[in-house]
């Protein structure tokens, strides 16, 4: 009887040790899975927040540029002579240069943050600022057709901004 008691107690102890080991392995694995899932979720949240911030910054900057474009149109519509309009146009040109450098910075950030389709849409916004600036330069240089050319540049610029917003929205929601 002692032999069977020893055998049963050894078997029970072995089973308890094995069960404890299996439980600790399972718990350890579950904790690792949970930690990995939490890390992945945090990464997705960080990426989403960084992208969203970059996208919003570009949109806000595009609005600042649009306001300056409206000022140019206001100067043209003021009815003053070219000589009277020239100081205001030069001031807007200086402001556009400053705002463009900020716009370019935000586009670089978007190129870094991605994704590629949003970076491409941001680059299209940048490219759409060239025609109005060239028309403004031509106007300052005395080209009488420049005001009409400038007004035709606003819609393509604004369309590029709307395309960027749509592309960025899809990218933010697809994360």
- Site of tokens 């205001």: 88
Domains defined for the chain, CATH in brackets = 47-173 (1.20.120.30)
Structure tokens at 99: 């705002």
pLDDT: is 37 or 166 the higher one?
166
Contact 26, 143 (CB under 8 A): no
Residues 60-82 have pLDDT tens digits of 999 999 999 999 999 988 888 88
**What is the percent of the chain with per-residue pLDDT over 90, rounded to a whole number?**
60
Residue 114 pLDDT level (bands cut at 50, 70, 90): confident
Is the separation of the CB atoms in 30 and 150 below 8 Å? no
Structure tokens at 128: 């759409």
Nearest-angstrom CA–CA distance, 36 and 106: 32
43: pLDDT confidence band, cut at 50, 70 and 90?
confident
């Amino acid at each position: 009887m002692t032999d069977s008691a020893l055998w049963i107690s050894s078997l029970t102890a072995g089973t308890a040790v094995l069960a404890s080991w299996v439980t600790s392995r399972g718990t350890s694995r579950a904790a690792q899975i949970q930690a990995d899932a939490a890390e992945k979720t945090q990464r997705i949240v960080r990426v989403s927040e960084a992208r969203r911030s970059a996208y919003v910054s570009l949109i806000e900057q595009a609005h600042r540029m649009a306001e300056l474009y409206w000022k140019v149109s206001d100067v043209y519509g003021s009815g003053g002579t070219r000589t009277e309009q020239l100081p205001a146009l030069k001031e807007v040109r200086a402001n556009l240069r400053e705002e463009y450098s900020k716009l370019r910075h935000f586009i670089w950030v978007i190129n870094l943050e991605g994704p590629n389709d949003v970076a491409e849409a941001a680059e299209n916004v940048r490219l759409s600022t060239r025609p109005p600036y060239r028309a403004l330069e031509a106007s300052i240089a005395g080209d009488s057709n420049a005001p009409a050319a400038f007004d035709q540049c606003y819609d393509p610029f604004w369309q590029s901004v709307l395309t960027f917003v749509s592309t960025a929205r899809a990218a933010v929601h697809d994360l």
